[in-house]
Amino acid sequence: MINIALIGTTGMVGETIRNVLEERQLPIGEVYLFASKRSAGSVVEFLGKSHTIIELTEENIASKKIDIALMSAGGSISEHYAPLLVKQGAVVIDNSSVFRMNSDVPLIVPEVNANAIGSSNLISNPNCSTIQSVLPLKVLDDLYGIKRVVYSTYQAVSGSGVAGVADLENETTFNYPYQISNNILPHIDSFEDNGYTKEEMKMIEETRKILNKPDLRVTATTVRVPIVNTHAVNINVELEKDFDVEDVKAAMANYPGITLRDDVANNIYPLAENADGKDDVFVGRIRRDFSLEHGLNLWCVADNIRKGAATNTVQIAENIIKERNL
């Protein structure tokens, strides 16, 4: 049995991690739920027991025997506490972006590159839209080789946490520069000097790292849309070799973590309502891009809080438990 710490347990992702842990029945011994001073002392039900939330402090961390720590409390918290937890002997799986591009920190989507975990005790969970995109890209890269990727994302307000949901529901602008209700914002995270947003650069850089293709040509436009949950990504891919569309569909249908919905004659394609509350990536609208010699378009949808964060984190923990016999 393993002792697990959940850090940032009261946020949207932290709550979902608890749900996923209960569903997937990991061999958990002791559970330590950490959050801010504001939430400390609150009681939550988890794994059939009442747990009192512990204030996140160095002293409280040091007093616990922690095997695996799942972190979803933001970059500054991760930057401070993750090294302390690793030094203490824990394996840390971090949802923030702070360590993702560090060369010595694996960036993991288990269906794609679980072997990259190796012996590392600090593992990063990728950006939500990157996670769902690299599953179908891995299928294509293994079969045909990928030369270039163009992302266009349609991202739900839950990607901004409870503040984003509140702006949509209340038609306010506390979290976004413009009202998101009845609107579409081509602006996620801050703009960089090159004209891209941080979110777009995350997708570009993380795709290269996860697929182990540092010179891959990738571009992205990330857009916030007025729905509560699930992200959609249109992916245009230039491949090294020619392909048969039906062969691509068959490969997608047989890949772990992908559900194929692609029967346009009957209006079957991935929708937000298909992915909401699910762990798979839903893929469809697979078709040839006739403007390129070996071009292909596809559409993928996933629950950004589950597969895009919580479920992927728990899957990494499952892999570590299995491979290290914890």
CB 270 within 8 A of CB 284: yes
Catalytic residue among 128, 187, 294, 300: 128
Assigned token pair, 249: 């569909």
**Active-site residue, 300 included:** no
Rounded-to-integer distance, Cα 151 and Cα 221, Å:
6
Tokens of 265: 């004659």
Amino acid identity of residue 222, one-letter, is T
Asked if residue 228 lies in contact with residue 303, where contact means CB atoms within 8 angstroms, the answer is no
Sign of the Cα pseudo-torsion (200, 205, 209, 214, in order) = positive
Q: What are the helix (H) ranges across 211-302? A: 245-253, 272-275
Closest by CA to 33, choosing from 18, 21, 48, 20, is 18
Active-site annotation holds for 231: yes
Confirm if 105 and 120 have CB atoms less than 8 A apart: yes
What does the alpha-carbon distance between residue 199 and residue 202 come to, in Å, rounded to a whole number?
Answer: 5
Give me the count of residues in the chain.
326
Half-sphere exposure of 262 (CA within 13 A, CB side): 23
- 264-273: long-range pairs with CB below 8 Å, 24+: 269/299, 270/232, 270/299, 270/300, 270/301, 271/301, 272/156, 272/227, 272/229, 272/230, 272/232, 272/301
Q: Which of 158, 154, 268, 149 is nearest to 213 (CA)?
A: 149
- Kind and range of the H or E run holding 61: helix 58-62
Q: Which of 51, 80, 187, 231 is catalytic?
A: 231
Which residues have a catalytic role annotated?
A: 128, 231
